[in-house]
Amino acid sequence: MTLPRILHRTLARLGCAAAGVALFGGALWRAVKNAEFRSTMSERLGGGEWPKFLTTLRDDIPVVWIHAASLGELQGVVPIMRSLSARYPNARFLLTTTSFAGRAAARSMFPTVTCLFLPLDVPFVASRIARAVNPAVFLNFETEMWPNLLFALQSLRTKVFFVNGRISDFSFQQYKTFRALFGEALRGVQTFFVQTDLDRERFVALNVQRGRIQVCGSTKYDQGEDVVAAEDRVVSRREFRVPPGSVCLVAGSVRPGEDALVIAAFIEARRKVANLSLIIAPRHADRFSAVGGLLHDNGLEYLQRSSIGHGDDLPVLLLDTLGELKRAYGAGDLAFVGGTLVDIGGHNPFEPAMFGIPVIVGPSVKNVRDAVSELKRSGGLFQVEDGLQLAAVIERLARDESLRRASGESARRTWVKNLGATRHVISEIDDVLVARIAHDQPQSPRAVGER
């Protein structure tokens, strides 16, 4: 390594360390102001449940460390975890998140896996935990980049993969500003599995070699294949108390400011389609009561999923539970995907598409632009500009059963065409884990896709 190269690397490490110290200061200030966040500070600094987990590790059992920031990223973890745990039953799995909702969902979705808060990206914290875990593989899902942790994993020669890699418009501007720092930290990543061609070009702009990047879509699209095949629509509609004979709109991952627009659009459409019903799912748990208040203020009687009894069916169900949205889509006749009528960038439109129902989104789709474009071209998706257009499209689809059926079939065909990212990821991880397990505890992994 040449002297300029050594200096560049040293300066990058120092810059990331300084950023980590600033992050630490911000976390302390947040802990002072927020009691809930304060209760997690010990674990975010490598205390809490970390010491107990670390005492259970063994040198002869490889650790697969998976990081997914929150609930959205966790959807892509499902097929990867399912495949790896079946293929390598003797490996140890660690799943970290950064949000409260993420950890709660992770523990619900993966009850046999250790789920902890990711340590703060401060050099002395990240390096200590990385050394103690010493993972064989580190899988980083979607957008988060923690450079001090990546540097620590480089030092351990851990094989690092970015899965479902994506860089949003906002994040790209930030990363470009500090390209010298992030580019150096990303040198330790073996392969970037990214969602779109645009994401590939953005990683290249951060000095990542093009040959280390594979465009293969998202593993999120793979998670429902078995569920779709086995889904009993009648049972699903009964489970979510969809009134018999109604046309059910499922509004998923709805954001603040968007919820009022969706409710108003539903009311307007229902004036003309009397048998229209609604399942509305706020994106975050802290909005459950607020959305309930909006429904009440608009004169809508509603059930709550968390307390469904044996009373009469009502036209509206508030999905005030986590981890059930995908199954709720399976009970619907059409779907609105949230984060699109407000400037969020959108959530995964393939989640409802897999159930063969038409999809509606608003204008803000920068985070899912490729999926939206494909679904729109196929006729499986309708894009609206505002609440008035949303009401009109809901009414049109609710009235026209043949249009709903044709659009839904197109949406599902498009989803099927996008399956397969998990296979790409697993095939590369195999090379790492086979070598590690063959050294520590020989076994023959199953073929990709074997159950």
Q: What is the pLDDT of residues 169-217, one digit of tens each?
A: 888 888 888 888 888 899 999 999 999 889 999 999 999 999 999 999 8
Average pLDDT over residues 100-111: 89
In 3D space, the residue among 445, 426, 420 whose CA is nearest the CA of residue 83 turns out to be: 426
356 and 344 fall within a common domain: yes
388 and 433 fall within a common domain: no
Residue 309 predicted with pLDDT over 80: no
Has residue 222 been placed in a domain? no
Has residue 386 been placed in a domain? yes
Taking every pair of Cα atoms in the chain, the longest distance, rounded to a whole number of angstroms, is 76
Q: Tell me phi and psi for residue 93, to 5 degrees.
A: -110, 135
DSSP letter string over 25-61? HHHHHHHHH-HHHHTTHHHHTT-TTHHHHHTT--TTS
Strand order in the sheet with 159-165: 114-117, 92-97, 63-67, 137-141, 159-165, 189-194, 213-215
Confidence (pTM): 0.75
What percentage of the chain carries pLDDT values higher than 70? 92
247 and 209 fall within a common domain: no
Has residue 451 been placed in a domain? no
Question: Which one has a higher pLDDT value, 293 or 416?
Answer: 293
Average of per-residue pLDDT values in the chain:
90
311 contacts 227 by C-beta, under 8 angstroms: no
Residues 420-438: pLDDT tens digits? 899 999 998 988 887 766 5
Average pLDDT over residues 398-402: 97
402 and 376 fall within a common domain: yes
Return d(Cα 210, Cα 203) in angstroms, integer.
8
Average pLDDT over residues 122-137: 95
44 and 118 fall within a common domain: yes
131 and 194 fall within a common domain: yes
Has residue 110 been placed in a domain? yes
Residue 6 predicted with pLDDT over 80: no
Residues 139-155: pLDDT tens digits? 999 988 999 999 999 99
Has residue 445 been placed in a domain? no
Return d(Cα 413, Cα 415) in angstroms, integer.
5
Return d(Cα 25, Cα 230) in angstroms, integer.
50
425 and 391 fall within a common domain: no
Q: Rg of the Cα trace of the chain?
A: 23
In 3D space, the residue among 284, 254, 244, 249 whose CA is nearest the CA of residue 267 turns out to be: 249
pLDDT at res. 438: 56
CATH of the domain at 263: 3.40.50.2000
Return d(Cα 283, Cα 281) in angstroms, integer.
6
Q: Which residues pair with 213 in a beta bridge?
A: 192
Residue 228 predicted with pLDDT over 70: no
Residue 160 predicted with pLDDT over 60: yes
Least confident of 115-124, 208-217, 264-273, 437-446: 437-446
257 and 238 fall within a common domain: yes
Return d(Cα 47, Cα 310) in angstroms, integer.
45
The SS3 call for residue 202 is helix
263 and 296 fall within a common domain: yes
Has residue 22 been placed in a domain? yes
187 and 243 fall within a common domain: no
Return d(Cα 71, Cα 158) in angstroms, integer.
26
264 and 203 fall within a common domain: no
By residue range, what is the domain housing residue 87? 3-216+420-440
Average pLDDT over residues 337-341: 97
CATH of the domain at 30: 3.40.50.11720
Residue 381 predicted with pLDDT over 50: yes
Structurally, how many domains does the chain consist of? Answer: 2
Return d(Cα 118, Cα 124) in angstroms, integer.
14
Has residue 142 been placed in a domain? yes
36 and 14 fall within a common domain: yes
Amino acid letter for position 293: G
Has residue 223 been placed in a domain? no
Return d(Cα 314, Cα 302) in angstroms, integer.
6
Average pLDDT over residues 38-66: 95
Return d(Cα 18, Cα 248) in angstroms, integer.
52
Residue 230 predicted with pLDDT over 50: no
